[in-house]
A = this chain, B = another copy of it.
């Protein structure tokens, strides 16, 4: 069957995450209903990253098979029926067998942290407000320690769908996005549930001197979940890119 690919952006604040859940407003449900309106058939989406409630996306990718024809300018038509906190950046036919989840070669996430002493109303639900001192060198060292192949058992909920806890992080680095906002860029073939958010929570503890770099390194060898730091809140997290 012919396959299409969507590149998607959303403000996650008012969504109960990506995945369909009865009675909840989800990105998947809004998109599938928009697609049904413009295609005249029921569509099942496959997604690259199943983001949780509150998590944003600037470069999410989804794919679907369809039986009829794709109309002209499908992205424009879709955006005309989608709510304002969700937009399709690109919609185009894809190679047969393209699968947004399985064909992905890497996912890139960004986690934004507001480090000013006062909160910023315009960053509400857009960044974690972290009012404690952080040492940028320690943060950078923590990020460097995360790069590579590790057992991330400590960084995902104990009750989980995962069987294998080993992952390879290809890139992990903090940058100053602007005065008062630090952002982590992290890239891997795949991530486990909450993995980026627990990594961020733990790195901030290292940056604040509340946990040593050695402790973080030890955690990356398969320590139990409750040994790692707090799960940073969803509203600082953005899925920015999926590579194929």
Contact A89:B75 (CB < 8 A) given known A11-B124, A84-B124, A124-B84: no
Type the 1/0 row for A115-153, where 1 means its CB is closer than 8 Å to any CB of B: 000111110101000000000000000000000000000
Find residues 69-97 in chain A having any chain B CB closer than 8 Å to their own CB: 75, 79, 84-89
Are A87 and B119 in contact (CB-based, < 8 A)? yes
Contacting residue for A75 out of B85, B118, B124, CB 8 A: B118
Contact B9 A85 (CB under 8 A): no
Residues of B within 8 A of A120 (CB): 9, 87
For this chain, the copies found in one complex come to 2
Per the 8 Å Cβ criterion, residues 1-23 of A in contact with B are: 9-11
Interface residues of A in 41-95 (CB under 8 A from B): 56, 58, 75, 79, 84-89
Nearest Cβ distance between residue A178 and chain B, in whole angstroms?
10
B79 pairs with A118, CB closer than 8 A: yes
Chain B residues lying within 8 Å of A79, measured Cβ to Cβ, are 118-119
CA distance A79 to B86 in the complex (A): 31
Measured in the bound complex, the distance between the Cα atoms of B162 and A1 in whole Å is 66
A122 close to B84 (CB less than 8 A): no
Contact of A85 among B84, B88, B118, B124 (CB under 8 A): B124
Looking at the complex, which one of B9, B84, B121 makes contact with A9 (CB distance below 8 Å)? Answer: B121
Task: Say yes or no: A86 contacts B121, CB within 8 Å.
Answer: yes
Beyond A79-B119, A85-B124, list 4 extra A-B contacts (CB 8 Å).
A11-B124, A87-B118, A87-B120, A122-B126
Chain A residues with a Cβ under 8 A of chain B: 9-11, 56, 58, 75, 79, 84-89, 118-122, 124, 126
